Amino acid sequence: MALGTEFPYISTGSLYTAIDTYQASTVQPPIQSFPNGAFNPLGAAFLLSMGAPEGPSIYYPTPGGSLNSNGWGAPLIVRYVRYSSTKGAAFLAYPAPVFWTDETFTTVTGTFSEGNPAATGNVNSLAGLILINTTNYPGSKTGAQLNTLVNGNFVFIVTKGFVPSAYVPGSSAVGDSFFGSSGDFTTTKTASGSSPSTYTVKLLTALSASTSNAYADLWVNCDPTF
């Protein structure tokens, strides 16, 4: 099931590993009907559901991986975007925050200062979570190697729904919320029961506690359209 378009083409069969190479030429092979080598419309949103027969979902991070029943009833909204970062920060060991770079809502970066508004960033420019990370990507890639593979190319990000084992800044408790923060692939925490800082939006919510492991199950609420 999709929102306004067909079910996405996921080139590797997994949202955790799909990286589609950007091509400067507009001449496409037959399977690629979109500009610059994209396999899907740039910026398109897709609704993925465990009950949908059309294709894979987030709950199988690796081919043949075991089913994670958490989040079963939480349909996932993903967007097909281009990742582009001048700094090229190393990717993390967990799904991590990314930021919109401009008002097209088609391009993201992992570096806060490269987010919209340009060259300054904003706490509310948080686009969602990029799923590609060194733990789930095959071949024991380092964060720097993943940046080389991803930077400038097309990927999927989660803009709404349940994401297991995602990066959080240090320890967190159930109900803590997170918003954009200065740095690379990071957020700032507001403790459960506290009001977010002035002019910030509650975009990520912890559904499990985290201590020294720096990851937790998160509810993502970054998509303003749905």
Q: Which residue has the tokens 């970066």?
A: 109
Encode pLDDT of 142-168 as tens digits: 999 999 999 999 999 999 998 989 999
Q: Which among 50, 47, 46, 24 has a CA at the least distance from the CA of 36?
A: 24
Structure tokens at 62: 């690796």
Q: Which among 6, 8, 221, 18 has a CA at the least distance from the CA of 131?
A: 18
pLDDT at 63: 45
pLDDT at 62: 46
pLDDT at 202: 52
Alpha carbon of residue 140 to chain centroid: 20
Positions of the chain with pLDDT lower than 70, given as ranges: 1-6, 26-33, 50-69, 118-124, 193-202, 212, 226
pLDDT at 188: 81
The angle at the Cα of 75, spanning 195 to 158, to the nearest 5 degrees, equals 65
Q: What gap in Å lies between CA 100 and CA 223, rounded to an integer?
A: 11
Q: Which among 39, 34, 32 has a CA at the least distance from the CA of 11?
A: 39
pLDDT at 4: 47
Q: What gap in Å lies between CA 77 and CA 71, rounded to an integer?
A: 13
The angle at the Cα of 96, spanning 114 to 80, to the nearest 5 degrees, equals 75
Contact yes or no for 102/73 (Cβ under 8 A): no
